[in-house]
Chain A
């Protein structure tokens, strides 16, 4: 049976609402003693509002809806007797309001919902278990690979020292012969000699870069391999697009080492220099043409005009206000196709630079020996760099938090998309979030992997930060809210604050049957 107690009081608190033998009652905070008849008499006597659990008289009071058949609920007194049915049993309003009792229906619906949710978590948790298994395997693989690479790099470093010595010896001989030969040739064109060194140096740089770019080690540099290099983000929108990357590959899908050296590198190098701050825009009037790079055609190096370079490098030779003309400069940057700067410029025919000069046979032999030694050294060096690169990647992955049981690891490398009226949104977990207009236009980075940010459950939210800067605003960022589902997908994207995006993402990785049941149990206990 029901325990008699004033309206709005929960069963748990019923004992607190018993009159003393003299018919009086003391406020729960002890502040005052009043006749028990003044409890729920629609006048607020107690400072803590405890005398009016069933009316709206005390602004800070709570009303307890029993809601038999559904969950009981505490509502603020502001919602009591205001003409709106807030308790499903209608107990917060006077009968005249005519609130029906919807608790049984709601309770049944809630039970079904809970069962469905439990089922979802159960089935999802099975999938998650697979993800855990795979994640743990990946972790083990990484560890194995890491130790293997550690051993190999030691071995290669020994080899490298050896080859370096051989190279040094061969080069000493070569140098000697070259000096002698050069002495003879000094009367001849000095520039030719200089040009000799340049392409050689260029080739060496280009080769190293090729190795670095060729992430999958198939002997080709592909578009996707270039897209990771933010130095190639010509329009500075935070992402290297296919078009941008393709430009640097001479509009090809992929290039081998030779094509890379002759076609791609002359385009990429200025960007690199620019990025490293090495690039000094020459003053056209005074600068002599630079030594030329071997090439079969004049490569269309990305054009860097003076103003643009000033802006990028923070140099202000012309006393320009960098901000003011920002847009104009970008326009020029895109429209002006005429190279007017020496770096990367190549007008000479490749025949002339590679064919000359005619060494005497002995010098030629020493050069070839030195070349072989260099190549041998380069190869070892390339190996080491490859290994280092892979180690770095492994270490990065190892540094990422893939969840309590590595269940998130398999998502690294995957990408998911969501389309709304205007944009296609992409989320590549542990990498980046981006946005691309549906009607064409450049992709914009909304953020790069930053951290887990869930409150309570840390793994319920992800943050991607440092996206492309907004006009007149902050850098874009994205918050990913994660829910359990059987298949991974994005269910919604919004921009609640200017340049702050909010993704709804579902994945079995977030399904946890035990945690769900524990939460359910906990809630049940409270009731």
Chain B
């Protein structure tokens, strides 16, 4: 990437202005006598004591330990934008109790409490009387009210000059009423309108969240650097260890400490910068505290700075990591249970050139007996980048090609981007032109930018009529050259505009409702997805849509999976695939992956092998590559590489029942599918920042090999308490047990993916090989039981038809398996109504002290003896042959 193509905070005038408050502080206070108390909220007027502008303040209590804080102007010159469509629904409120004393107002709801201080304005939030979040503790609240433009204020700004110019009031600063960046001009007709606020986390030691950045899981201090930036951008060959903005923006941030975890969701769709203060970097304040006799260091804090809109912040009080993740998904939703195929392996490349190419690649997977579920077509399949059309020369019979895939249980995904070729003979363009569906310039003309098709315009998906029109294009009566089994990839939806400022749309474009692009930028991709999701649901109401998107905002997880965009074929990008997806997962996007092999460049065979092994344990598993790269399908490498990749693929397919169950539970509870160690080991400070390992639910610990040429890796086994007690962990290949906590050096071969199953868990698997996941539907299950220190374990399994919405009508089997006292039993959660031909072929138990002589299974009072065999460090129970919807008890005999 060339970083000079993108703004620094200093080049973004609102960031520069808002950040200045950090040295001087601001003076806001509640106006006494304006307080109103309602059953679920309090309101008051808020005063800027320096310019006497008045604001409205509202604090609302929501279900599940969450408060919502809103600050807007009391009488703005024009309405200020409030984010729509990010929340999954209007949040439910709860009743509050309000007490007033000593100028403090205490708002209580259940275990949650907010203490509001009037002057200076500040709110402290408590969970069970532990102080977990403060709002405006640093007095960095900064709210630029809308104002009339006067002649003198119209100074242009280059972003670099004017450093020595004395300015009396920050609002008269250059850049306030118009701003230039490189050759681009932002007209800024409404002048300065930034909002900014600080959040402190007194109980936290580490902050994380605010994807998407190619950076560590734990947020780094921004002292002396630019803030983290949230602005959806198409970044070519992005760099790692960077706070630069990327394709998605999810303004949710968490503070975590051994006792408490809390979070803040800053609901604002404008360009946003986030400054991070961490305790260890505040040397000066620590010294001050030391000198002043205070033992307490300054808590970690975040300063959110947005260009426009209002203050709309959700304060989520935890108390534990999983609680706060679920509080966030309760607000913005989760990905619905995807079709199983989308959790299997995807084969993509820019581009598979023609029908024969697609057919050949698919057939090669069969030739080498390797499973593959989905072929992808990038932009070249279209007729000249006109979406919803096909290149008839290269793809004369797409329906036949699709049928050849679907007959093997495979799928096709095709790309549909939001840039529309400006070609009068292209129906989509003429429709949008005639009906006025495009995003407009300030002057009211259709905006024209440059993208893949050349000159292009961009549908205004904020307009519900436009979304309906767009959704209807997916209908098979319109898009006749696909079938209802063909799914969709929405790329370039930041939106990417090759000749626009920072490769995106100018901020003074006008959207539906007369909002500026400035107000809604980070939501553009989200609105695009809403249209696509609606289109696919209407196309086939009984099939769950699968969509992959690059741009995303809070709530986009309800519609699409994401990938980490245009990464590079190098080891550092491989390492960042896990860091980035962990952050996305706690921000609602469990369905995350990275281009296996790296998008740009040519991976050598070792990097490709390790990347497949890593990708096999991220939720979205797709190989993809740039058009200029060499072909890299597994059989093009030496046999050894092909076999290693095959082995990684088989491992992925064997765990599909676990992935599928995890996604069902994500839909049900909002609990992330992949998790950082701190999610379940919140007290282990050494685990907080670990982002080379991940948990799959609370069942697997994954630490892929992501370094070149190593024969061992360091693995951290986390502690459950501060006495270094930990779980047992069983190597999934050998069932060798790890009993110690802390860092261990683990030897690895080129085939080894270091993965452990937690003692105390039961994992469902399918160990038979098929060409695609759909063909595994009726294959039998293996249950792997790994015992904890008490000789117990439990774990769930979910199954259904893997494709339709029938599960919403109860057509599923959801079962919890429990092992204790040498006996395995099952307990159905809900009635097992789905009829499955699958059965349990094998039960593996690791961690038994003695090898049983046999096992007895009892079904409906009928007992049957089963063979037991020891293999490696585990015991295998041969062929229980029980159907999935049957109650049973299985007892080990000695």
Contacts and interface: CB of A to CB of B under 8 A. Distances in A.
Interface of A: 41-43, 45, 56-57, 59, 76-79, 82-84, 421, 472-473, 494-498
Contacts of B407: 84
Residue among B354, B629, B650, B879 with most chain A CB within 10 A: B879
Residue among A45, A57, A78, A498 with most chain B CB within 10 A: A78
Interface string B224-266: 0000000000000000000000000000000000000000000
Given A59-B767, A83-B775, 18 more contacts: A42-B879, A43-B841, A43-B878, A43-B879, A56-B768, A56-B770, A59-B768, A76-B369, A78-B369, A82-B771, A84-B408, A84-B775, A421-B393, A494-B353, A495-B353, A497-B631, A498-B628, A498-B629
Contacts of B650: 59
B276 to A, nearest CB: 38
18 contacts: A41-B879, A43-B841, A43-B842, A56-B769, A56-B770, A57-B841, A59-B768, A76-B369, A76-B769, A78-B371, A82-B771, A83-B775, A421-B393, A494-B356, A494-B357, A496-B353, A496-B357, A496-B631
Contacts of A494: 353-354, 356-357
B383 interface: no
A284 to B, nearest CB: 36
Interface in B624-638: 627-631
A497 B775 contact: no
A79 B353 contact: no
Contacts of B371: 78
B539 to A, nearest CB: 25
Contacts of A421: 393
List 8 A-B pairs, minimum CB-CB distance, nearest first: A59-B769, A78-B769, A82-B775, A43-B879, A76-B369, A421-B393, A497-B631, A78-B770
B779 interface: yes
A45 B876 CA distance: 11
A500 to B, nearest CB: 9
Contact of A56 (B408, B627, B779): B779
A494 B631 CA distance: 14
Contacts of B630: 497-498
Nearest to B627: A498
A41 B629 CA distance: 47
B353 A57 contact: no
A78 B367 CA distance: 12
Nearest to A77: B769
Contacts of A79: 366, 771
A457 B50 CA distance: 88
A77 B779 CA distance: 13
A79 B368 CA distance: 12
Contacts of A76: 369, 769
A364 B218 CA distance: 97
A82 B779 CA distance: 9
Interface of B: 353-354, 356-357, 366, 369, 371, 393, 407-408, 627-631, 650, 767-771, 775, 779, 841-842, 878-879
Contacts of B841: 42-43, 57
A44 B357 CA distance: 36
Contacts of B879: 41-43
Contacts of B769: 56, 59, 76-78
Nearest to A58: B768
A469 to B, nearest CB: 13
A494 B769 CA distance: 34
Contacts of B768: 56-57, 59, 78
B107 to A, nearest CB: 60
Contact of A473 (B356, B628, B631, B770): B628
A475 to B, nearest CB: 14
Contacts of A77: 769
Contacts of A498: 627-630
A77 B842 CA distance: 18
Nearest to B394: A421
A362 B468 CA distance: 103
Contact of B770 (A42, A57, A82): A82
Nearest to A422: B393
Contacts of B357: 494, 496
Contacts of A496: 353, 357, 631
Contacts of B767: 59
B864 to A, nearest CB: 14
A495 B775 CA distance: 33
B628 A472 contact: yes
A490 B407 CA distance: 33
A497 B629 CA distance: 8
A341 B357 CA distance: 52
B841 to A, nearest CB: 6
Contacts of A473: 628
Nearest to B841: A43
Contacts of B628: 472-473, 498
Nearest to A472: B628
A42 B881 CA distance: 10
A78 B771 contact: yes
B790 to A, nearest CB: 31
Contacts of A45: 878
A473 B626 CA distance: 13
B838 to A, nearest CB: 13
B732 to A, nearest CB: 16
A421 B392 CA distance: 11
Contacts of A57: 768, 841
Contacts of A56: 768-770, 779
A42 B779 CA distance: 11
B347 to A, nearest CB: 15
Nearest to A61: B769
Contacts of A59: 650, 767-769
A268 to B, nearest CB: 38
A451 B87 CA distance: 64
A294 B565 CA distance: 65
A421 B771 CA distance: 35
Residue among B371, B628, B769, B878 with most chain A CB within 10 A: B769
A472 B601 CA distance: 12
Contacts of B408: 84
A237 to B, nearest CB: 20
A41 B842 CA distance: 13
A232 B366 CA distance: 51
A57 B779 CA distance: 9
A342 to B, nearest CB: 42
Contacts of A82: 770-771, 775
Contacts of B627: 498
B626 to A, nearest CB: 9
Contacts of A43: 841-842, 878-879
A438 to B, nearest CB: 13
Contacts of A41: 879
A183 B353 CA distance: 77
Contacts of A495: 353
A497 B630 CA distance: 6
A79 B879 CA distance: 21
B883 to A, nearest CB: 14
A446 B503 CA distance: 35
B214 to A, nearest CB: 24
B801 to A, nearest CB: 14
A173 to B, nearest CB: 68
A425 B791 CA distance: 71
A45 B366 CA distance: 25
Nearest to B871: A47
B189 to A, nearest CB: 39
B468 to A, nearest CB: 37
A250 B844 CA distance: 87
Nearest to B654: A59
A43 to B, nearest CB: 5
A76 to B, nearest CB: 5
A78 B768 CA distance: 7
A498 B768 CA distance: 37
Nearest to B650: A59
Contacts of A472: 628
